[in-house]
Amino acid sequence: MDSRIALVVNTVSKNKDVWNMFFDRLEKHIPSGFFNKKYVFVDEGDYPDIPQDYEVLFYNSHEMYRDQFVSCIDKVEEEFCVYISEDYILYQDIQDDIIHQFEEVLDTHKDLSFVRFVRGGVIDQLSPQYKSEVCDSLHHLYNYLQYFYTNQAALWRTRDLEKIHVHGPNYHIAGMDYSKQFEPEATKTCFQLGIQGVYCYYGEDKRGIYHYDTVVWPHISTALVKGKWNLSEYPHEMQRAFEEYNIDPSKRGLV
């Protein structure tokens, strides 16, 4: 059966030194044919390092993140997508069978817009389980709480992800002013739109302050923090990556 899931990668050319490792790990740890199509959203340029089996969609680097994303996501035709950034570096095989279960959950529960692969760690209370005949390791996310919307690895209904960005704040992802960042303000948009979602949790360990590990999509999240390599949260995984891909970490620096 043909896949209904797309892979959506959002990146920027200033991080192209990460691409070789990122795309190679995707190739190693994701079964061939799992995604119907793979997309890269990036600022305009000539990028021979992006593998040929990805469709490259260009955005305007002078626009805000929201407008950049909206200009690309409407070209993704698949019903579902996994949305990630270039510094989500896989270090083990994904659990494709579980992701297909999540796809079935979204088919069965039309009220849900996404299944997040990662348990958050800031609001660090295990939410009640979401009752589903398909999967028993899902937990409620409440759209009136902080961090409901985050750019973490998840299976999305593509049109719902698009809707959040269309109606969301015209901000960038990062910035000094937290109140002018897309993610916290998009949580308010999700509440206004009635967006609902769940996260999965299989007893993984907590990783730093902000999230737990995930067996579904085992990745470094994120490999870059303010442009530097995230050695503090992922010392072993990052060191192996430096050695495997002959990366000199001093060029970016470490946190």
Q: What is the pLDDT of residues 213-228, one digit of tens each?
A: 999 999 999 999 999 9
- CA distances from residue 174 to 19, 77, 121, 180 in whole angstroms, order as listed: 20, 28, 19, 8
Rg (CA), the chain: 17
Mean pLDDT, the chain, integer = 96
Task: Say if residues 50 and 19 touch (Cβ distance below 8 Å).
Answer: yes
> What is the DSSP-derived secondary structure letter of residue 103?
H
Amino acid at 138: L
pLDDT tens track, the chain, 255 positions: 589 999 999 999 999 999 999 999 999 999 999 999 999 999 999 999 999 999 999 999 999 999 999 999 999 999 999 999 999 999 999 999 999 999 999 999 999 999 999 999 988 889 999 999 999 999 999 999 999 999 999 999 999 999 999 999 999 887 767 778 999 999 999 999 999 999 999 999 999 888 999 999 999 999 999 999 999 999 999 999 999 999 999 999 999
What percent of the chain is modeled with pLDDT above 90? 91
Q: What is the pLDDT of residues 139-154, one digit of tens each?
A: 999 999 999 999 999 9
CATH code of the domain made up of 5-222: 3.90.550
Residue spans per domain, the chain: 5-222
